[in-house]
Amino acid sequence: MSKFISPNFEVVDSIPGYFEVDDDIALVIALLNKKGYITTYSCSGHNKIEYTDEDTCSIDLLEDLIDDDRIRILRHENNKIVFTSEVLGNSTYITFKDAYEFDTLPNGFTLNEFNNGLVLSKSLDYYPEGSKIRKSQSDIDKEVKNNCLSLLKWAKNLEKREEKIK
């Protein structure tokens, strides 16, 4: 379930005119906006199994694909294999309206330019590097929560911006 942030940057369940945020990141988004760091989008990260759009490859690669549980072979047509592959992860992120300057970042997060503003993000991988075995749901859920706790600790330590909130 998602929460909403009011025009006064309070966390609420639902009210027209408020914007929606994920539960795990709601306090972070409210705090950042209260301190004058205006956010535009955010995602706590999600633990779900999704597949990419259809793709094709040569039938010669069938042997490589058939042993990979992350691949779903859909059909064979014209000496090609049509398949989808599991999305291997997503990220915890916050986008900011403007290019604010931060002296520090939460551990493991990166900051990049995005639509005249910034995006603060950390990759959330469902598979350990080099492994074909997916992390457990509880491990992924813990990683999401830890990412959001790191963001909250970071946001609490940020100084309030001098400029007024628009």
Burial code of 68-102, b = ≥16 C-beta within 10 A, e = fewer?
eebbeeeeeeeeebebbebeebbbbbbbbbeebee
The pLDDT of residue 27 is: 96
The region of weakest confidence among 15-24, 117-126, 137-146 is 15-24
**How does DSSP classify residue 13?**
S
Confidence band, pLDDT 50/70/90 cuts, at residue 32: very high
Per-residue model confidence as pLDDT tens digits over 14-28: 667 677 889 999 999
Alpha-carbon gap, residue 166 to 147, rounded angstroms: 28
The region of weakest confidence among 14-18, 74-78, 113-117, 135-139 is 14-18
Cα distances from 158 to residues 8, 68, 138, 151, 154, in angstroms, run: 19, 45, 30, 11, 7
Segment 26-35 mean pLDDT: 96
Per-residue model confidence as pLDDT tens digits over 90-116: 999 999 999 999 999 999 999 999 988
Is pLDDT at 163 greater than 80 in this prediction? no
Cα distances from 136 to residues 60, 80, 98, 143, in angstroms, run: 33, 33, 37, 11
CB atoms within 10 A of CB 114: 16
Segment 152-157 mean pLDDT: 98
- Residue 58's φ and ψ, nearest 5 degrees, are -65, 145
Angle at 20 between CA 87 and CA 46, to 5 degrees: 20
Let me know: does 40 contact 97? Beta carbons within 8 Å: yes
Tokens found for residue 19: 């914007």
Is pLDDT at 9 greater than 90 in this prediction? no
pLDDT, averaged across the chain: 89
